[in-house]
């Protein structure tokens, strides 16, 4: 009898205690959600107001006359604002994609080498790769600008791609090395015994398994390049070359600021990143090496 009573009460008591923590967690998450989502929502709401409604005090919490005029203006290549916006968008896309692809081309073999091979200076190289990340990026702004001017890369997208690679590669290599470390070396050994060359073993067996890592790294370096402002603003001065973060600030002007236009542009700037996440997120959740080896 006593055991029955115990088993009956113990779970409820335990569950109640967990509930308390769970509610604390929920409240915390709700606050975090509020903190992150409200600016986004406000951005979206402002972008569909008229210029006058956006400036009202007290604010219109919900736009009285919602309008897509700002979006139409931005996406219309025939008017000057739209032409500029689309050009900036294209520039950003070009610079970010190029940075990502070049970064992966270097980071994938580098990370694999750091993970699998022992060679003289391996540790020194690996930690020197991280050295750059110990300093804030702005410190390098003036030196890099002087360097870029010296090699004649100022006002080219190449200057940005090189700079973003400098900053993005070390972490990309670290990130990918972690993924390769988690792929059992026996898989490659098995492949090599089964008739593959070292390179085939990498391409046919290891590469498919490191897809989540490669995608995570790609997203990381794409977002880094997509959002970067200070270098783009410093290295580029010609209107037709600006990237989005540098270009969007042209919505601010001395006398009037087109807040709905600014917010619409900001919103559209965040779209590619969100889409990228949604499309690729399924690769994160799957543990691809499951079932490969028995521990």
**Contact set with another protein (CB under 8 A):** 184, 186-187, 189-197, 200, 205, 208-209, 288-295
For the CB of residue 184, give the shortest distance to another protein in the complex, in Å: 7
3-state DSSP assignment of residue 71 = helix
Tokens of 25: 């967690």
Distance of CA 5 to the CA centre of its chain: 54
For the CB of residue 201, give the shortest distance to another protein in the complex, in Å: 9
Residue 132 or 192: the one with the smaller Cβ distance to another protein is 192
Residue 66 or 208: the one with the smaller Cβ distance to another protein is 208
Distance CA 265, CA 260 (A): 9
Spatial CA neighbour of 87 closest among 241, 260, 216:
241
Residue 44 or 187: the one with the smaller Cβ distance to another protein is 187
Residues 6+ apart with CB under 8 A from 289: 182, 183, 184, 209
Yes or no: say if 219 and 276 are a contact pair by the CB < 8 Å rule.
yes
Residue 39 or 195: the one with the smaller Cβ distance to another protein is 195
For the CB of residue 193, give the shortest distance to another protein in the complex, in Å: 5
For the CB of residue 197, give the shortest distance to another protein in the complex, in Å: 7
Tokens of 141: 């702004």
Distance CA 29, CA 21 (A): 12
Distance CA 10, CA 22 (A): 18
Residues 6+ apart with CB under 8 A from 16: none
Distance CA 218, CA 105 (A): 11
CA distances from 114 to 11, 111, 123, 156, 179 (A): 49, 5, 9, 33, 11
For the CB of residue 117, give the shortest distance to another protein in the complex, in Å: 13
For the CB of residue 95, give the shortest distance to another protein in the complex, in Å: 33
For the CB of residue 104, give the shortest distance to another protein in the complex, in Å: 20
């Amino acid at each position: 009898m006593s055991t029955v009573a115990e088993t009956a009460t113990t779970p409820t008591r335990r569950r109640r205690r967990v509930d308390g923590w769970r509610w604390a967690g929920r409240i915390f998450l709700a606050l975090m959600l509020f903190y992150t989502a409200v600016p986004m929502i406000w951005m979206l709401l402002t972008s569909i107001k008229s210029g006058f409604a956006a400036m009202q005090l007290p604010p219109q919490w919900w736009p009285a006359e919602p309008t897509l005029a700002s979006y139409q203006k931005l996406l219309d290549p025939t008017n000057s604002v739209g032409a500029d916006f689309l050009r900036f968008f294209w520039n950003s896309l070009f610079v970010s994609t190029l940075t990502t692809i070049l970064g992966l081309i270097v980071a994938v073999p580098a990370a694999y080498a750091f993970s699998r091979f022992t060679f003289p200076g391996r540790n020194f190289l690996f930690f020197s790769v991280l050295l750059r990340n110990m300093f804030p990026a702005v410190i390098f702004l003036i030196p890099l600008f002087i360097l870029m001017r010296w090699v004649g890369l100022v006002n080219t997208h190449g200057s940005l791609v090189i700079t973003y690679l400098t900053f993005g590669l070390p972490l990309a290599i670290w990130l990918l090395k972690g993924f390769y470390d988690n792929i059992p070396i026996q898989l490659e050994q098995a492949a090599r015994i089964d008739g593959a060359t070292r390179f085939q073993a990498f391409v046919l067996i290891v590469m498919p398994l490191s897809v989540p890592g490669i995608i995570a790294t790609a997203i990381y370096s794409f977002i880094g390049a997509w959002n970067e402002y200070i270098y783009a603003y410093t290295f580029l001065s010609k209107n037709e070359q600006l990237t989005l973060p540098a270009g969007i600030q042209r919505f601010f002007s001395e006398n009037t600021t087109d807040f709905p236009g600014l917010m619409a542009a900001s919103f559209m700037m965040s779209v590619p990143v969100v889409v990228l996440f949604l499309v690729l997120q399924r690769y994160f959740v799957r543990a691809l090496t499951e079932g490969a080896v028995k521990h």
